[in-house]
């Protein structure tokens, strides 16, 4: 199999791991793809992985903070505002738990 197909399979396995409540396994695959992959998840794909972790019973704080560190939260909110996809209320609640300065920077970017 090609490296692309292997990494796409890894991306899909990350979804399954998050949905199954195996956040460490899902996060390991996701971070590998971000660091080394041909298949590099964009903001929406990372959000969808985080959403899978919520469906798995516990939203991955590590994945959320990775999206935050990569500056992807404003992009997710912009796309949701534009109606490109819906976001979970848990995501908004998680953003609301951030410190005031971080929330202000995110809202300013949106």
Q: Is 18 exposed, middle or buried (0-12, 13-18, 19+ CB in 10 A)?
A: buried
pTM of the entire predicted model: 0.90
17 burial level (CB within 10 Å; 0-12, 13-18, 19+): buried
The pLDDT tens digits for 26-81 are 999 999 999 988 888 999 999 999 999 999 998 999 999 999 999 999 999 999 99
The pLDDT of residue 19 is: 96
The pLDDT, as a whole number, for residue 1 is 61
Contacts 24+ apart (CB under 8 A), 98-101: 98/68
């Amino acid at each position: 199999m090609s490296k692309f197909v292997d990494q796409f399979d890894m991306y899909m396995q990350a979804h399954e791991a998050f949905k199954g409540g195996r956040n460490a396994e899902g996060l390991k695959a996701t971070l590998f793809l971000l660091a080394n992959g041909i298949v590099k998840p964009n903001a929406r794909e990372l959000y969808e992985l985080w959403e899978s972790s919520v469906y798995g019973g516990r939203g991955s704080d590590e994945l959320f903070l990775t999206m935050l560190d990569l500056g992807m939260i404003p992009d997710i909110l912009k796309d949701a505002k534009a109606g490109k996809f819906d976001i979970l209320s848990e995501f908004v609640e998680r953003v609301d738990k951030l410190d005031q300065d971080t929330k202000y920077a995110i809202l300013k970017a949106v």
